[in-house]
């Protein structure tokens, strides 16, 4: 009887502990390539989100407008990654695969593009349900693109 009561208390404590660890994020940002068929499209490293630096991949954030610091993979002509800052609006319960799109193999300049976006399965946002059902368009060009933020040149 005492073992059963002890097991019941332990099980209850673990359930309460697990529910306290429920995720607080609503959006996922991933810098790995989803499609590999686009010419001059490279993976990115999401260095910082809203000034918070981390090496965790993928990054989990709340829905809303965020300032992203992105490193694009080095080109053939250089050995250092290229860094830019962007503002990006994220929606609830959507996973974004971000990528760097260059004009050529030698171009250091890049644009941040949405390689793919899809609804997060089983997502239940913590700040309330979305106003409409999450419908990610099959054509990612319909999603508002990230906007570049001017950054000082690195020497």
pLDDT digits (tens, 9 = 90+) for 30-47: 999 888 888 888 899 999
Question: What's the CA gap between 33 and 136, in Å, rounded?
Answer: 18
Burial zone of 148 (CB within 10 Å; 0-12 exposed, 13-18 middle, 19+ buried) = middle
10 domain residue, yes or no: no
Q: Specify the number of domains making up the chain.
A: 1
91 domain residue, yes or no: yes
6 domain residue, yes or no: no
12 domain residue, yes or no: no
8 A C-beta contact, residue 35 and residue 68? no
Average pLDDT on 138-144 reads: 71
Indicate whether 27 pLDDT > 80: yes
Give residue 7's pLDDT band: very low, low, confident or very high (50, 70, 90).
low
Q: Percentage of the chain with pLDDT > 90? A: 23
Tokens 């709340």 sit at which residue? 62
Indicate whether 57 pLDDT > 90: no
For position 91, what pLDDT does the model report?
Answer: 86
Q: From the centroid of its chain, how far is CA 119?
A: 13
72 domain residue, yes or no: yes
19 domain residue, yes or no: no
8 domain residue, yes or no: no
pLDDT digits (tens, 9 = 90+) for 107-128: 888 889 888 888 888 776 655 4
Instruction: Specify the DSSP class assigned to residue 122.
Output: T
pLDDT digits (tens, 9 = 90+) for 76-118: 878 888 899 999 988 888 899 999 998 888 888 888 988 888 8
8 A C-beta contact, residue 1 and residue 70? no
Domain that holds residue 107: 25-149
3 domain residue, yes or no: no
For position 16, what pLDDT does the model report?
Answer: 45
């Amino acid at each position: 009887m005492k073992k059963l009561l002890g097991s019941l208390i332990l099980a209850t404590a673990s359930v309460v502990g697990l529910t306290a660890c429920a995720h607080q994020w609503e959006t996922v940002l991933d810098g790995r390539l989803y499609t590999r068929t686009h010419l001059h499209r490279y993976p990115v490293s999401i260095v910082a989100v809203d000034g918070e630096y981390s090496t965790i991949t993928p990054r989990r954030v709340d829905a809303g407008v965020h300032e992203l610091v992105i490193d694009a993979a080095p080109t053939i002509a250089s050995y250092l990654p290229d860094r830019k800052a962007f503002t990006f609006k994220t929606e609830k319960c959507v996973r974004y695969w971000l990528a760097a799109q260059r004009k050529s193999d030698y171009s250091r300049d890049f644009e941040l593009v949405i390689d793919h976006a899809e609804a997060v399965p089983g997502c239940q946002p913590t700040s309330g349900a979305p106003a409409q059902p999450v419908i990610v368009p099959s054509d990612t060009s319909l999603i508002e693109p990230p906007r570049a933020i001017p950054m000082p040149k690195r020497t």
